[in-house]
Amino acid sequence: MWGIWNDVEKRFVFGIREKTAEKAVNAFFHKVGKTAYKWRFEPRIIPKNWVNPKNKHYVKKGECVMSIFEKYSSKINQEELATSQKEIQDNANGGQREEVPVGKYECKVDKLECKMSKAGNMMISIWFRILEGKFEKSVIFYNGVFHEDWMRHRVAKILSDIVDDGDRTAEINLILKSGSLNEINNFCMDIHESINDRLEYLLDYGLSKGYQTYKIEEVYEV
């Protein structure tokens, strides 16, 4: 059986036991997300009769929460606590943003990643954060699966628009066609790093035949 080895703590972690290294890695990503990229983790065969060393970071339920709040308790007085409680009660039914209608919005890309859809297909997920107007700070979510050619071409187009280089569409299409989940997600993170706090967009968010549409009409340097 295969598990996930922590090379710092010298123990298997997260209780993963799978028949292959690939299945162990997939289970690991499903549990912890991007934390799986950290260098200290790797798939290894679990030796027969292996007994894991005790987790030195383990604490009983409630102890961790108590230690966090002890750090701040001396800074909180009862009057402030009562005010905080009233704010929560007054806004008990609020805090839910109105759904963003179709239209054109100035946005930035808050998040860009490749993950698995509920149907088990690779999917590009983009969070467009609205920068101004009535829906400022709201998010338009783009989720594009690409297991069919026409889907992949559409996703490649919006990614090339995000990097503001239409000539890259064919190259991006090939990366989506041949890359693994890990490789494509790393590619998405590289894109986000290159555009973050550098480019903003005019996004035409629409609806056609019951499906949401996304078109980047303008790209602005900031």
| CA gap 30, 8 in Å, rounded | 22
> Where in the chain are the domains?
2-45, 103-221
48: how many CB neighbours lie within 10 A of its CB?
6
pLDDT digit of tens for each residue in the chain (222 aa)?
Answer: 999 998 888 888 878 889 999 999 888 888 777 666 766 789 999 998 888 887 655 444 444 444 444 545 555 567 776 776 666 666 555 555 568 999 999 999 999 999 999 999 999 999 999 999 999 999 999 999 999 999 999 999 999 999 998 888 999 999 999 889 999 999 999 999 989 888 999 999 999 988 999 999 999 987
Residue partners of 36: CB distance under 8 A and separation at least 6:
25, 28, 29
* Lookup: tokens for 10: 């010298």
Summarised one tens digit per residue, pLDDT across range 46-76 is 998 888 887 655 444 444 444 444 545 555 5
Q: CA end-to-end span of the chain, whole Å? A: 51
| CA gap 119, 141 in Å, rounded | 18
Q: What is the pLDDT of residue 70?
A: 55
By C-alpha distance, which of 145, 144, 146, 141 is closest to 109?
141
Check: CB of residue 44 under 8 Å from CB of residue 3.
yes
For the beta sheet containing 2-6, the strands, ordered from the edge strand earlier in sequence to the opposite edge, are 11-18, 2-6, 41-45
| CA gap 185, 114 in Å, rounded | 5
Check: CB of residue 25 under 8 Å from CB of residue 3.
no
Amino acid at 201: Y
pTM for the whole structure? 0.58
* Lookup: tokens for 81: 């606590």
